Amino acid sequence: MNGAVERPSEGPRLIGQWPMPCGDAADLASCWSGLDVLGRAQDYVVDTAQRTILFLDILRRRGNAHLEAAARTAPNVLSFEFEILVDGRTLPRPVNYGLVRIVPPPGVNVDPTRRPFIVFDPRAGHGPGIGGMKHDSEIGVALQAGHPCYFVGFLTEPVAGQTIEDVCRAEAHFVQTVVDRHPRADGKPVLIGNCQAGWQVMMMASIVPDLVGPLLLAGAPLSYWAGVRGRNPLRYLGGMLGGTWLTALSGDLGAGIFDGANLVANFENMNPANTYWKKAYNVFSKVDTEAGRFLGFEQWWGSPVLLNAGEMQWIADNLFVGNRLSSGEITTSDGMRVDLRNIRSPIIVFCSWGDDITPPQQALDWVLDLYDTDDEIISGGQTIVYTLHQSIGHLGIFVSGKVATKEHSELIGCMDMIDLMPPGLYEAVITEVDPDIANPELIMGRYLFRLERRKLDDIRALGTNSAEDDLRFATVARLSDVNLGLYRTLLAPAVRAMVTPETAQMMRNLHPHRMRFEAFSDRNPLGQAVAGMAEAVRADRRPAPDDNPFRQLEGAVSTWIETALQTYGVMRDTWEEVLFHSTYGNPFMQAAMGLMANGTGRRREGRDAIREAIAARREAELDAHLAEGGELEALVRALIYINFPNAKVDERSFVVLSQIRAKAPAAARLPFDRIKEVAREQFLIVRRDEERAIAALPNLLPDDKAKRRQLLNAIRLVVEASGKPSPETARRLARIEAMIGAPAPEAVK
């Protein structure tokens, strides 16, 4: 033994990420004795060489797709056939947007009498089509549910002189076109606004509130200063750049055109680990299976669009840095104030904790900017619904067919239910169906959709800025105005004089985002050689097995690189946050920007005397309607009274109501909008004084005993659809049963 101490066997040990049969790293050679080290090394070398060639070929194909898209007038990544209905360039105020009708795929039937859906794509640097990139996306889900579907996209280049307001006016025209195509539709169109399109749709809806139906905002930022420390670094970008003067410089260098590739670069800089390593390595390591998915996504990601410099400046000044949308400081060219409180259709917000571009605070804090109390939401007539995903990323909210299908299917399937809900704040809760649940036949699909009443404090609990943080962001907005004014006065004339359309185009062509695509295309003389070698490799592909220790070592090294880049990203974001707060929290900086006079930075919608007077008049008019109405008003008032104490309602009750309505003769069937109007009025009547409302209920009941029995049976079916009633619900139901069973009294004046 020569004095050596024999160590007991410890079983497999981990070196990097592959199991070792014994010992530690120092025993590497002895541990591999008996193994075919050279053979495995040879397998790995051949596999790596082949993967390298195939990976380069994938990049070549990506570059070619980029060049093909750039050469097209209207590139898109829609996976559906479509029919062009309106070209925005033909409108009185022309824009580069357009409306198309989605042609249902074979085997999918749509009902023209069902409310149509219109998907608005985001113009945030990338090309159009992301909302319909997959067949199980938002468009696909709406089609499968039988709804006619339309899509609003855009061209790569803007119309000269078009503005954000022009786009909003054009979108209103598109919605009117869809309304005119479906005169018998049971409800106004549902508008789905993805990301940037969400705030644009909200602006349009606030200008023409009577035109639109429910608004579904998917990953749409409306409150740009909102967030929590340590998690939302993108909101600091405006402050780190000294405001929006660089946006103006970029527009001037582009000869009046802002390159969307700059926005794409901002998104990529947020996650250096994914941008500079993880995405590419994922394709390299799975080169035999990942090509299709990667090329499909990169076709959209690698085709940046252009904006007028004025459009981008407006967005940066009023939204990114100014945060003026939710505070009601934006006005149209004819002097109309864009007030989000004008919207009367339900607003549904779909956001996620995994979204680092539009975190829940930026998706929801506009509600806190508009309203101080929960009663203000109700008296204002707004129905606001939000749903929170725990992990899905920004693009996955409106792209992923696997992760977000549940939410989109339930929100789209229960849209009529949402539209019928009385004013207030709700959270949509989507859960697996319990095997023991009551009346499972009334549930559409695998999940139960439920709306639970919420308060403004529930949104505040998600995280909000402190007053001091709001003051810092307000300081950035003031500094931005100062720097922008200095740039336009001192530098802009010289920059514009030096730039020509040709030099601007050359700079766009040399943008790193485009260069990295074109460098591996067939424009590179080596491209054809790579294509030929790739064909030879596919004919004799020899992948190394997953248990090859060199493949496992490669994976371990990749993990180390990714972790290092993630660490760098966290350190960079932390440093930026500290620098932002220390710079713009400086009292001297705030005083220099004129903000220490009142010491406040938060701006919100103020009270509107006219709006409050109209609300007070509506409240007074409710008394006049107390004893007015018939069977529909009686049914709705009774149901609202019975369920008034409940903080939640699920889809089963609504399905029963829909079945009752469907059984009515077609001639006597009221339009959905009329039922919605009745539901809202009866809710306000019961909320104002439920005892007087119920005391007057017998005056709405018919004298016909058979009709009364039918009405009572309908009430019971709806109440019991969601399972056994609570004691309070049962007590209220019994009271209504006693009233309906009694003879009708003389009318109460």
CB under 8 A, 24+ apart: contacts of 658-662? 658/416, 660/714, 660/717, 660/718
Residue 707 and residue 632: Cα distance in Å, rounded?
A: 12
CATH class of 609-741: mainly alpha
Coil, strand or helix: which one is 321? coil
Say what the pLDDT of residue 515 is.
92
- 3-state SS assignment for residue 514: helix
pLDDT at 71 over 50: yes
- Please say whether the beta carbons of 380 and 343 come within 8 A: no
Helix (H) / strand (E) element for 129: namely none
661 or 472: which leads in pLDDT:
472
Output Rg (C-alpha) for the chain, integer angstroms.
Answer: 30
pLDDT at 2: 41
Domains 82-232+321-465 and 609-741 share a fold: no
pLDDT, residue 600, reads 62
Residue 391 pLDDT greater than 50, yes or no: yes
Please state, in angstroms and rounded to a whole number, the distance separating the CA atoms of residues 608 and 252: 40
Question: Phi/psi class of residue 195: alpha, beta or left (left: φ > 0; alpha: ψ in -120 to 50)?
Answer: left
What's the pLDDT at 294? 93
CB 165 within 8 A of CB 432: no
- Kindly tell me if the per-residue pLDDT of 3 is higher than 70: no
Give the model's pLDDT for residue 33. Answer: 46
Return the domain boundaries, the chain. Answer: 82-232+321-465, 609-741
Q: What is the mean pLDDT of residues 10-15?
A: 41
Task: Identify the three-state secondary structure at position 382.
Answer: coil
Q: Which residue has the tokens 């609003």?
A: 152
Mean pLDDT of 548-571: 96
Q: Which residue did the predictor score with more confidence, 143 or 600?
A: 143
Q: 3-state SS string over 386-443?
A: EEEECCCCHHHHHCCCCCCHHHHHHHHHCHHHHHHCCCEEEEEEEEECCCCCCCHHHC
Q: What pLDDT, in 10s, does the model give residues 495-525?
A: 999 999 999 999 999 999 999 999 999 999 8
CB 698 within 8 A of CB 744: yes
Answer CATH for 82-232+321-465 from 3.40.710.10, 3.40.250.10, 3.40.50.1820, 3.40.50.2000: 3.40.50.1820
Q: Please, what is the average pLDDT of the chain?
A: 88
Rounded to whole angstroms, the Cα distance separating 537 from 535 reads 5
Residues 378-388: pLDDT tens digits?
988 899 999 99
pLDDT tens digit sequence for 180-210 = 999 999 889 999 999 999 999 999 999 999 9
CA separation for the pair 655, 416 (Å, rounded):
10
The separation between the first and the last C-alpha atoms of the chain, rounded to the nearest angstrom, is: 111
